[in-house]
């Protein structure tokens, strides 16, 4: 099983929405996070022999355990930076498939932060489809999973 549980309430990227400043605006946020943790743990506790659970850096590293591996799309031929955690059961670590690895195009924002060009291209300025586009698995990563894990 390769599981991709929704990361909306698990990722570190959304931590600010749990603050007291936003409690009135998002009163169910804590319960939604708790439900997301339970859903994630259903995968982790499954009796399936081989399991990979994919999610960004977030709460599960402290609530469950550290991931077995953190991968990057540029290891697999994509011009992108997006740290992705893998919690594995009876599966080997993924090996990079792009030699040499791609150097991701990085853009510096007005606030002096950096982001991958793909983040800008997938709707950073247009919020309509941003979450959907950013949650996609890069094809090179999916291909590596299929080839290396069968």
Which residues have a Cβ under 8 Å from the Cβ of 9 and sit 6 or more positions away? 29, 32, 33, 35, 36
Examine the pLDDT at 143 and tell me if it is beyond 60: yes
Mean pLDDT of 107-132: 75
**Which is more confidently placed, 72 or 131?**
72
Give the distance between the most distant pair of CA atoms in the chain. Answer: 50
Q: What is the pLDDT of residue 46?
A: 98
Q: Dump strand ranges (E) for 23-64.
A: 51-56
For the stretch 87-118, pLDDT in tens is 999 999 999 998 888 888 888 888 888 888 87
| pLDDT at 78 exceeding the cut of 90 | yes
11-51 pLDDT, tens digit per residue, is 887 777 778 888 888 889 889 999 999 999 999 999 999 99
Burial class (CB in 10 A: 0-12, 13-18, 19+), 69: middle
Per-domain residue ranges of the chain: 2-149
Q: Check: pTM over 0.75? Answer yes or no.
A: yes
Task: Report whether pLDDT(124) > 70.
Answer: no
**Spatial CB neighbours of 20, under 8 Å, sequence gap ≥ 6:** none
């Amino acid at each position: 099983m390769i599981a991709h549980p929704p990361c909306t309430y698990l990722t570190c990227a959304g931590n600010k929405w749990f603050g007291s400043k936003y409690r009135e605006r998002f009163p169910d946020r804590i319960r939604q996070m708790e439900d997301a943790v339970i859903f994630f743990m259903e995968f982790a506790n499954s009796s399936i022999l081989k399991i990979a659970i994919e999610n960004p850096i977030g709460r599960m590293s402290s609530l469950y355990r550290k991931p077995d591996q953190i991968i990057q799309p540029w290891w697999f031929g994509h011009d992108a930076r997006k740290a992705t955690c893998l919690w594995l059961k009876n599966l080997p670590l993924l090996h990079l498939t792009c030699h040499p690895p791609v150097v991701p195009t990085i853009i510096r924002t007005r606030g002096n932060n950096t982001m991958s060009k793909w983040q800008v291209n997938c709707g950073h300025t247009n919020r309509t489809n941003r979450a959907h586009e950013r949650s996609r698995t890069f094809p090179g990563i999916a291909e590596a999973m299929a080839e290396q894990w069968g």
